[in-house]
Amino acid sequence: MLKLEALLAKYAALPTVSPSEAPRMAWFKLLQFRDAVGEPVPTKKYKGLIKLLQRLNRIDPKVAPEEVRTALNFFLRPGNPYGNKPAPRTVDEQGKARGKGKRKASSAVVQLVEGEGEVLVNGKTLNEAFPRLHDRESAVWPLRCTSRLDKYNVWATVRGGGVTGQAEAITLAVARALLVHEPALKPILRKAGVVTVDARRVERKKPGHVKARKMPTWVKR
């Protein structure tokens, strides 16, 4: 702590970047830090250490001294998870792009290839798979909002959950597969809200409740 505070006092005048623009770093967790220093460090001091590290990490990388980088690297977890970037997905030799999507208990895998606009879900047509108009619109919304309905064929395999959950899982999978073909469409798809994962799940039932929040009807007699 004293060493980091001395570094901060020494280089406090250097230009900084905003927290969102600073390099992502995976700092030691509390137990790992205790093992590294060999002392039972309290949680309060650990939080103060993290604040110091984050402030030093905000120094503009272009002018950050080597002394600061060496000090920060000591507190990095082995195998920095933010340093490993996945390889970009590409179209296979048959011209297909693959995308996966999940929603609630449903999971979908979509293969997107250039064609005339045919859509098959588990071997069925879109009308057979989704009787409701809203679900049909939702499943192909990434293609509709980018005016690509007649340009690609969609073959989807979906399982689990209900009809609406399956349709929304296909939405995410189609959007991801479309980005493999045309990465430049990402701003349009993001604005349409089809590349953001919806992490909401059904809240669990509680003891003494009828459902997650609903209580039994109160009866006086």
What total number of domains does the chain contain?
2
Residues 42 and 123 in one domain: no
Q: What is the pLDDT of residue 80?
A: 62
Q: Say if 81 falls within a structural domain.
A: no
Mean pLDDT of the 181-191 span = 94
Q: pLDDT (tens digit, 9 = 90+) per residue, 80-128?
A: 666 666 677 888 888 999 999 999 999 999 999 999 999 999 999 999 9
pLDDT higher than threshold 90 for residue 74: no
Q: Domain residues for 157?
A: 96-192
User: Per the domain annotation, does 115 fall within a domain?
Assistant: yes
Cα-Cα-Cα-Cα dihedral of 64, 68, 69, 73, to 10°? Answer: -150
pLDDT averaged over the chain? 90
C-beta of residue 216 within 8 angstroms of C-beta of residue 205 = no
- At residue 38, the pLDDT reads 84
Assess whether 170 and 112 both reside in one domain. Answer: yes
Decide if 90 is inside a domain. no
Average pLDDT over residues 181-188: 94
For residue 108, being part of any structural domain is answered with yes
Would 119 be classed as within a structural domain? Answer: yes
**Model's pTM, two decimal places?**
0.65
Would 59 be classed as within a structural domain? yes
Give the pLDDT score at 3.
86
Residue 104 and residue 29 share a domain = no
The reply to whether 86 falls in a domain is no
Same domain, 122 and 58: no
User: What is the identity of the amino acid at 47?
Assistant: K
79 or 172: which leads in pLDDT: 172
Range with the poorest average pLDDT among 63-72, 91-100, 142-151, 200-209: 63-72
Q: Is the pLDDT score of 25 beyond 90?
A: no
What pLDDT sits at residue 84? Answer: 64
**Which of 119, 104, 66, 101 minimizes the C-alpha distance to 195?**
101
Q: Are residues 18 and 57 in the same domain?
A: yes
pLDDT tens-digit readout, 115-137: 999 999 999 999 999 999 999 99
**Polymer length of the chain:** 221
How many other β-carbons are positioned within 10 Å of the β-carbon of residue 94?
A: 7
Q: Is the pLDDT of residue 156 over 90?
A: yes
Contacts of 175 (CB under 8 A, 6+ apart): 99, 101, 142, 189, 194, 195
In a domain, 221, yes or no: no
- Distance of alpha carbon 64 from alpha carbon 14, whole angstroms: 8
Which of 163, 160, 140 lies closest to 152 in space, CA to CA? 140
Residue 181: band (very low, low, confident or very high) from pLDDT cuts 50, 70, 90: very high
Res 16 pLDDT > 70: yes
What is the share, in percent, of the chain residues with pLDDT greater than 70?
Answer: 96
CATH of the domain at 118: 3.30.230.10
Question: Where on the phi/psi map is residue 183: left (φ > 0), alpha (ψ -120 to 50), or beta?
Answer: alpha
- Do 61 and 105 fall into the same domain? no
More confident residue, 107 or 37: 107
Q: Are residues 188 and 112 both part of a single domain?
A: yes
Query: What local confidence, expressed as pLDDT, does residue 83 receive?
Result: 61
Residue 163 has pLDDT above 70, yes or no: yes
The answer to whether 172 touches 197, Cβ cutoff 8 Å, is yes
55, 101: one domain:
no
